Structure 1
């Protein structure tokens, strides 16, 4: 339906009201990119050299799987530390500083930093920011939800996970949004295993979202991961026909983004921040999973990495 110009503002206000009680956010000022010591091993995309990305889903060796376990345990442990840090009054730049410090003190590189020009060490997406929010100086306020997306490069492997956190007292619709997003990820992981089509993941997530009256934002996909940050397979979170079957030894992320609103999003002028077109809140959660002989193991579900300087 086409909305007349004179009604467009009223229409947007009514949408916000129906989406719950929260503050619509826009990017604020940022600080400089943080530095990484020379002794820390850096991913090859920083050197300008050719990246070794497989052209098909990789079946990892035992040694590669062990490397992935370590990097994912580190990423998960840092995300767990962030959970206790988040409260009203801190900034997402404060989160970036914490993640950066914990990462380099553990001898790892924060994978997002300077990846295709991204200026920070972590992605932080608040309220109507769907993904790829750049940490800035806006203070988190009571009622916000904030996704923190952490990837570390440790021992030659990337570990990737994210979670949407509550800031203070969040309204019922915000709580519902986060809980259903987490449930969709949980159910998607439960169906994974050898011989399962990759496309079944999106079908399961879509069904969970539809049943609860939420929208999956289709523009964002999970991905294969290993010594490379992003590779095959692509993991779609809606109904799809992506070809191929899972096999033991494959590792990939599943990272659905759900919203109360419509599926349309916009990339802002910074080239990274993606917001919902209608101003609705979005929530995301993510795990890196390993396909095993009898199912799937969540590699980023462990917090047993000894963090230094925490």
Structure 2
């Protein structure tokens, strides 16, 4: 059995602060998601905000050699898209911005989709299903829930929408470390015998493809794209398992969901 960290009240307090700060980065950057802005400019804005205003550390920068402070995954990029001065956003693009910070020694991690201008019906629906798949999982979380149920229910919902779930990348425990046990799979998977307990903190971050769930990693060693070049969307929250359900530590300002869920 894997050793899964259960956070103390003092640790939870620090993680709430880190979660609030990382959510504020996504709230802040929304006003800058405009036609012709480059993904590198978005990276610089987020980097400066995290360092200067929040007095925090961009967790992605330098992590296993990753060269930027955020991930910017546009259209058929599933995850880990590297900001680039040559990549300008254009009408109809969908972009996932993934931000993680370290504050007072604790990590927090979140992402969301942004749509430029008037989206296609497919783009809009894909982003909606990706968000709903995350929210569906959040409404499941409670003590004594077998961990495998999260992925099982996400994939069941996504398949009904005629989309697919990426299997190679998953959510993860988080706290003093960026990535801790357990791994949170977003697809139907084998029961590993892990049962949720109050005080566990982890991310849920389903990656949903409009076409096949197959992906390919590009030559830069980071950027992951859909193999069939179909669109991909992802939403992510860091959550805390509570005595009665869960608490969303990275809730953003305009989200239509309660921060504390009683499940």
TM range (shorter): over 0.9
Report SS of the residue matched to 1:147: strand
Q: 1:293 and 1:102, CA in 2 relative to 1: closer, same or farther beyond 3 A? A: same
- Aligned counterpart, 1:246: 196
Out of 142, 145, 156, the position equivalent to 2:105 is: 156
Hey, what's the Cα distance between the residues in 2 that align with 1:156 and 1:173? 41
Hey, what's the Cα distance between the residues in 1 that align with 2:142 and 2:45? 35
- Aligned counterpart, 1:294: 244
Out of 58, 78, 83, the position equivalent to 1:135 is: 83
- Does structure 1 residue 283 correspond to structure 2 residue 237? no
Q: Measure how far apart 1:242 and its partner are.
A: 4.2
How big is each residue's C-alpha offset from its partner over 1:114-169, in whole Å with a ceiling of 9 and x where there is no partner?
00000000000000111000000211000000000000000110010000110111
TM-score normalised to structure 2 length: 0.93
- Aligned counterpart, 1:255: 205
- Does structure 1 residue 110 correspond to structure 2 residue 58? yes
Q: Please list every run of at least 4 consecutive aligned residues from structure 1 whose deviation after the TM superposition is greater than 3 angstroms.
A: none
Hey, what's the Cα distance between the residues in 2 that align with 1:253 and 1:211? 24
Hey, what's the Cα distance between the residues in 2 that align with 1:232 and 1:56? 7
Out of 58, 64, 68, the position equivalent to 1:120 is: 68
Hey, what's the Cα distance between the residues in 2 that align with 1:88 and 1:201? 36
Hey, what's the Cα distance between the residues in 2 that align with 1:123 and 1:136? 10
Give 5+ residue unaligned stretches, structure 2: 254-263
- Does structure 1 residue 220 correspond to structure 2 residue 139? no
User: Would you tell me which structure has more strand in proportion to its own residues?
Assistant: 2
RMSD: 0.9
TM-score normalised to structure 1 length: 0.79
- Does structure 1 residue 94 correspond to structure 2 residue 41? yes
Superposition pairs of residues 48-197 of structure 1, within 5 angstroms:
56-105=3-52, 106-137=54-85, 138-197=87-146
Larger Rg: 1
- Aligned counterpart, 2:256: none
Q: Measure how far apart 1:179 and its partner are.
A: 0.2
Question: Do the aligned partners of 2:214 and 2:227 also contact (CA within 8 Å) in 1?
Answer: yes
Give 5+ residue unaligned stretches, structure 1: 1-54, 304-310
Q: Measure how far apart 1:57 and its partner are.
A: 1.4
Hey, what's the Cα distance between the residues in 2 that align with 1:302 and 1:90? 23
Hey, what's the Cα distance between the residues in 2 that align with 1:89 and 1:282? 21
Hey, what's the Cα distance between the residues in 2 that align with 1:81 and 1:257? 23
Hey, what's the Cα distance between the residues in 1 that align with 2:126 and 2:90? 18
- Number of matched residues? 249
